[in-house]
Amino acid sequence: MDSMGCGTALVTPFHADGAIDERALYALVQWQIESGINWLVACGTTAETPSLTDEEWLRVIRIVTEAAAGRVPVWAGCTHNATREAVQRARIAAQVPGVTAILSANPYYNKPGQEGQFQHFKAVAHAVKLPVVLYNIPSRTGTNLEPATILRLIEAVPNIEGVKESSGNLPQITELITQAPRSFSVYAGDDNMALGAIGVGAAGVVSVASNEIPAEMVLMVQAALTGDWPVARQINRKFYRLMQANFWETSPAPAKAVLAMMGRIEDHCRLPIVPVSGATRARLERLAGELGLLVHAPREEGDLRMF
């Protein structure tokens, strides 16, 4: 993989009637790129992808790639609990101009074992020529992709080139990094573990917080990757509460609430995800205000110099 640094797992903005807010999504992509983001993920977990129709899923990918216009890589999320459907999605996404990699998570609900996951991911990767990034997120899918299975997949399918590791298990991530080929990229899938994972050799992070603070997350990750740990730790210290706050309720509802406070999107989710409660909203607004994220409290141009 040629992607290093910080990639954003983009939210999908919605209107009050439930329709995708295409203009807001387009503008969000523009802002992300202007802020220096290294790559974008369309239709990951944060995009509420399980609640999108097939047509909407493809439309979101097309909007993101069209808005990006080749300026940054775009990974397309192609996850399904039926292997045939995941394969079909991967084939469709791979044909979209501007898609540079396929991101595919553990099959959810079925809870396949290691052999089932091996066969599933092998089928997805064999279906396309693009790089494939595995996505291990047991808290959402109910099953863990173990390092030994990933090593088998790397050996079996050359275009499996990376993994987004959202197990929250740093020893497991470390085990994988120390055993995988150097050409294989491991990405932290949790903002609050980004520095720990980079410290043991990860190539970066696929971030939720970078929806709200793209420039700051890029600066933090680049500092860590280049060994400037005092700067990386200082940024992490300032924004760690936001990284945690994005999961005070089911993600991406908190991130969407903050983005709405920032004037970037409308605050709407797709059922079964609901907007955050009034109490959580008040806490988020207080935190966002303290961090200078609110529309009525814009950050100074030179704000990043504090780091």
Quick one: tokens of 187?
């990405």
Read off φ and ψ for residue 218, nearest 5 degrees.
Answer: -60, -45
- Can 256 be counted among the known catalytic residues? no
Marked catalytic residue, from 164, 187, 240, 256: 164
Q: How many CB atoms lie within 10 A of CB 101?
A: 24
- Can 111 be counted among the known catalytic residues? no
**Dist CA 208 CA 186 (whole Å):** 17
- Who contacts 98 (Cβ-Cβ below 8 Å, separation ≥6)? 64, 65, 66, 68, 69, 70, 74
- E strand map for 106-182: 132-136, 160-165
Stretch (H or E) spanning 221? helix 214-225
Marked catalytic residue, from 26, 108, 122, 135: 135
**Dist CA 156 CA 163 (whole Å):** 15
**Dist CA 239 CA 105 (whole Å):** 27
Could you list the active site residues?
Answer: 135, 164
